[in-house]
Amino acid sequence: MRRFLVVTASAAAATYALVIGGAALWARSPTTTRNCPSSGSVILVDTTARVLCLCRAGHVDERFRVALGRGGIDKRATFDGKTPLGRYSLGAAIPSSQFHLFLPVGYPTRDQRERGYSGSAIGVHGPHAAFAWLRHATVWPNWTQGCIAVGTAADVEAIARWVRSTGVNEIVIF
């Protein structure tokens, strides 16, 4: 005897709303993170809390949940899938067909290269275009090759606008 599962349009819509709505709530839920520096502006990425904070003069202007490298943290080598730790330069946003916008992170630093660290193309970006419809659910798992990914194109646009308006050119990943 065969059994069939019948899913009505309203049940599918409710499931979609639960997943997407839950992701949106999770993405904006309060988190604890290291305090912003009392002066200046910087982007802080707390890898333990998986949160990116836009810091200005000791205050968080905005925070975003993030996905990190699928290999963990403390990048040392090309293709290790890890997100680097440290203080890096941050470039201006550039368009990306895969991730909407990409803000390049200056990994590895000169000192790291001298110590044998390798890798490139690390940055802050939006979700992969193929999965953008999942919105904030894209930051539930760590899936990047070492980058810092936010949940929506609107999130990465907000970060890029903030970087442009404040002149920030530094990111601290800890």
Q: 65: which DSSP letter?
A: E
Q: What mean pLDDT comes out for the span 77-92?
A: 98
What's the CATH number for 9-173?
A: 2.40.440.10
Q: Where are the alpha helices (DSSP H) in 5-146?
A: 9-28, 110-114
The answer on pLDDT for 69 being more than 80 is yes
User: What backbone phi and psi angles, to 5 degrees, belong to 84?
Assistant: -70, 155
Amino acid 74: pLDDT: 98
Amino acid 33: pLDDT: 53
The answer on pLDDT for 89 being more than 80 is yes
Structural domain boundaries in the chain: 9-173
Amino acid 35: pLDDT: 84
Of residues 7 and 36, more confidence is placed in 36
Handedness of CA 174, 157, 146, 127 (dihedral sign): positive
- Cβ burial, residue 65 (10 Å; 0-12/13-18/19+): buried
**What are the tens digits of pLDDT across the range 127-174?**
999 999 999 999 999 999 999 999 999 999 999 999 999 999 999 999
**What are the tens digits of pLDDT across the range 104-123?**
999 999 999 999 999 999 99
**What are the tens digits of pLDDT across the range 2-33?**
444 444 444 434 444 444 554 444 444 444 45
Q: What mean pLDDT comes out for the span 71-91?
A: 98
Amino acid 5: pLDDT: 40
